[in-house]
Structure 1
Amino acid sequence: MSEVAAAFRALYGYEPEGVWAAPGRVNLIGEYTDFNDGFVMPLALPHTAVAAVARRADGVLRLHSADIAGPVVELRTEGLEPLSGAGWAAYPAGVVWALREAGHDVSGADIHLTSTVPTGAGLSSSAALEVVTALALRDLYELPLSMAELAGLSQRAENAFVGVPCGIMDQTASACCTEGHVLHLDARDLTRRQIPFDLPAHGLRLLVVDTGVQHALGDGAYAERRAGCERGARELGVRTLRELSYARLPDALRELSSPTVRGYVRHVVSDNERVARVAALLDSGDVWGVGPVLTEGHVSLRDDLRVSCAELDLAVEVAVASGALGARMTGGGFGGSAIVLVEEAAAGAVSKALVSAFEKAALARPRLFEATPSAGARRLA
């Protein structure tokens, strides 16, 4: 925290007004369901984006990242336009744009950012940048916005400014998760429930396997899945796939002409059902029972939604074969990370097996770390 403030001072020549943090996330279950008005269950990571920020009154927005080589990006708040080609700076700039579009008088800011959330790993590094910017500006400009509203404005920044048609999960997880819990989120009405997720009490650990395969959700593959889900809903006569019950799924699939759309619909409806099953297991204290549901979800993501990749499939297969209770890819896919639910006593052996398997396949060594349910966005100083 002091290093971020010192870097701000060196960059801009004066002290920041505060320092804020917002975490990345892993999603335990419920993938590609949020933009279908469905259910998700993320948890916040201890890895965060941190921002030192001060207000400006002259309409200037200055942005700098400690993690990306390059000078300070200087923009005018009045000239911000969607898809402005600002690169990484589009994420915080998009938040300023979204706040101003919503009628909030944000007249400028100096912002210095750094992040420990791995980029391109499916862990919502972009949402962390958006939410930390939104929270800092809310506090500094004394805006009457709840954390859920900050999440919504951050999503708008990513949808309308950056151009990625993501759902609401990532930003809500970064803004609203609480330590020691997973967040059960209904993406239709945005109701939230914090479910205790104390893995050490059950002798378990949740590992993240960052395959190192970079993904880019702005390349069109994510948008194609979303469009396919929307097509399926139209053909079935429902507003969103949330309205299609799991019991009706077999009959509904027979009504769809496209095998691709059929797979998308099957995944979304079955993953909503998996979220309900995991919530029931956690409520009953059967954390061990979550493992097979994770693996089942990965098969659906791999075969029906087709968003996995060879490295993610290898991580899941090796983890389960070497003793994990369950595993699946997490996030948007096409690379990124997998999560592994494993007994604490077996975590070392499973981790060793994963590293060995990647080496034998002549793949880059995966980065492994524990996903500890952590706090959402907050002010640090």
Structure 2
Amino acid sequence: MTDKQPIPFLDLKAQQRRIAIDLRHRLDAVLEHCQFVLGPEVRELETALAKFCGAAHCVSVSSGTDALQIALMAEGIGRGDAVFLPAFTYTATAEVPLLLGATPVFVDVDPRTFQIDPVHLAQRIEQVRADGKLKPRAIIGVDLFGQSAEWPALRDIARQNELFLLDDLAQSFGASLHGKMLGSQADATATSFFPSKPLGAYGDGGALFTESEQRAELYRSLRTHGEGKTRYEVLRTGMNGRLDSIQAAVLLAKLAVFPEELRARERIAQIYDQRLGNAVTTPKRVADSTSAWAIYAILLHDEAARDRAQMVLRAGGVPTAIYYPRPLHRQPAYSAQHDGSALPVSEDLATRILALPIHPDLTDHDVDRICTAMLATV
């Protein structure tokens, strides 16, 4: 390999080679029994995922977005309701409340951890109450880029305001806070198994976690057209949100090596910290937590510096990505819903943030190339 050959931003082929034997065995089992939707692999996966993150119940679904939607549907959230969420995150978090007729209320984030700012959240709730046009109903805390949100503070705010608290764990399955895996920090937790996630399927997939048996039962009904005890007993308006058995088989094969991959991601993140920390702003860790390192995001001085860095890195075969080039309240789909409140941190981050490759199949040579190339840009 020459030093100009591109480094993969994510190398799913290398991962597939590592798990090939177990993966083929599991896929062949699905092809043998032909229960392609909610087959035995799905039940096995739900048990394994609940055990992994220490949750009482796991309900698998067809995507992370569907997980968010089912969780809000179960609470009856809709027209006239306010759902508070960070302005600096992926679109799915905001689109789900709108699909249900509710209104997303955007909250600014911490400038160093990129997680939702609890102080600003409390202010936004009070602002909405004072305005009187919407009823505060829910908070969606996002564990961004692999790290945990400030869950003790978010729980206090939710409890004080009698709001449903939902954890959007789409990017951070495998992370922990205060020695406990994420998955039971909120009233419900939604995660995604999109292929690029730390634990990713070979297509869409997701899951819901909850400590409530009643919620889990409702989630299972809603993911299957609102059915009751039998297939043709329809108790409520639901959706088609079931997980395919093939995706469950893939995830079971990947889950077997997931702890090892998390350790590899952490090792790479520490090298980046050490090599780049004096040249760029590296990610600040949330106190007493571990990260799944879905994304390793640095901050550059300004947008021009980021543009220069991307150009130099691209020429050296080092891919980068921008998460996110525009905060949600500035997106055309959501700008009309925004009340005009200033969100300066989210707007500033969008101009300076840059993601470097981080995945368990990066070699030491790859990591050295990335660091060397990055240092040459500043």
> Do Structure 1 and Structure 2 share a fold, with TM-score over 0.5?
no
Q: Name the structure where strand makes up a greater proportion of residues.
A: 1
The TM-score bracket by the shorter chain reads under 0.3
Q: With the length of structure 1 as denominator, give the TM-score of the two structures.
A: 0.23
Q: TM-score, normalised by structure 2?
A: 0.23
